[in-house]
Amino acid sequence: MAGQERLTAARVLVVGAGGLGSPALLYLAAAGVGTLGVVDADTVEASNLQRQLIHSDADVGRRKTESAAEAVTRVNPSVNVIRHDVRLDSSNALEVLRDYDVVVDGTDNFPTRYLLNDACVLLGKPHVWGSIYRFDGQVAVWWAEHGPCYRCVFPSPPPPGVVPSCAEGGVLGALCGAIGSVQATETVKLLLGTGEPLVGRLLVHDALAMTWNTLPVRKDPGCPVCGESPTVTALVDYDELCSRPGVSARADTANSGMGVPVVTAPELAAELGSDAPPLVVDVRGPDERSIASIPGALAIHLDEFRDGSFTSHDELAAHGRRIVVHCKVGSRSAEAVRLAQAAGYTDVVSLDGGVLAWVHEVDPTQPVY
């Protein structure tokens, strides 16, 4: 009874009503957590439904927080759901997080992850973090007062484009349930003050091998946020820091932070109709190309850029013109552009938003995926 009363009095903020937030929200509601905050500025898309089970086909086009709140209420009508239809940034994060006991991180981008970590350290709150990619997942509890914070273990984000989003790189839908459920478990343990939370430990799950391993992680005395002499004493936005400095990049949806020169779909359409059309290169595989494509695009898989064999294509060897690389939404093409630049190609750009932008803005007769 005492434990249930603690859960009823608890306030938990779940950032992201997506793949990880879906199971976390539902299990926390079923456990009887009294107040659940949901942060998400996006709307439900059909492509989300494979892994974001808190939403249904009828919710496509609705705000994710609205759909999630209704699902939580169906599970437990006694839960007080607070919607935060915002994108967290340095101006609002502290205010949003301040009144919650535990923060569950279900985000899918590095700027928000680093922002959340800094905010939780400054507020002294435990931060239940999860990460998924394809068939792999990780979970940890970052709590600077008792162990390392996220930055102690991951001091800086990886180079832009190296880690695609779930939409770009793919993720096994059921993996979201496995990792999100662990996050809910860790949250309940923290609220009850029972068991051994994943503080100072990183849980690593390989779904293909069906293994769970725990790695020790330690506090970094030189951490700029929670170290002995912290230099980060106020929140900053990390969008710019997660892109390559000195290279222009549109602050747009898919290619934001990718750090390479880009062209929009309407701009590409205009260039293709000019007297000097660019060479369009598609780095996707044949299955994706069969769904939607740009007419006349040359198929060169991203793997050929990675191993350097792309230079053997006659069209590239004697191109003498601008090259526009595209994929589905932008991260793979951004990587290909960087590899082409390293090989000496100068006039090469990425299609901002990928083929999906082309379908939405130029050729809506093609399907999206």
- Kindly list the catalytic residues: 166, 327
Spatial CB neighbours of 355, under 8 Å, sequence gap ≥ 6 = 282, 284, 292, 293, 294, 326, 327, 328
Which amino acid type is present at position 259?
Answer: G
Rg of the chain (C-alpha set): 22
CB atoms within 10 A of CB 206: 12
With CA atoms as reference, report the closest residue to 27 among 64, 84, 79: 79
Integer Cα distance of 188 and 124 in angstroms: 18
Whose tokens are 């299955």? That residue is 287
Edge-first strand order for the sheet with 348-351 is: 262-263, 348-351, 323-326, 279-282, 298-299
Whose tokens are 């089970």? That residue is 53
Integer Cα distance of 70 and 91 in angstroms: 28
Question: What size, in residues, is the chain?
Answer: 369
Q: What are phi and psi of 107, to 5 degrees?
A: -80, 165
With CA atoms as reference, report the closest residue to 284 among 169, 135, 134: 169
Cβ proximity of 235 and 90 under 8 Å: yes
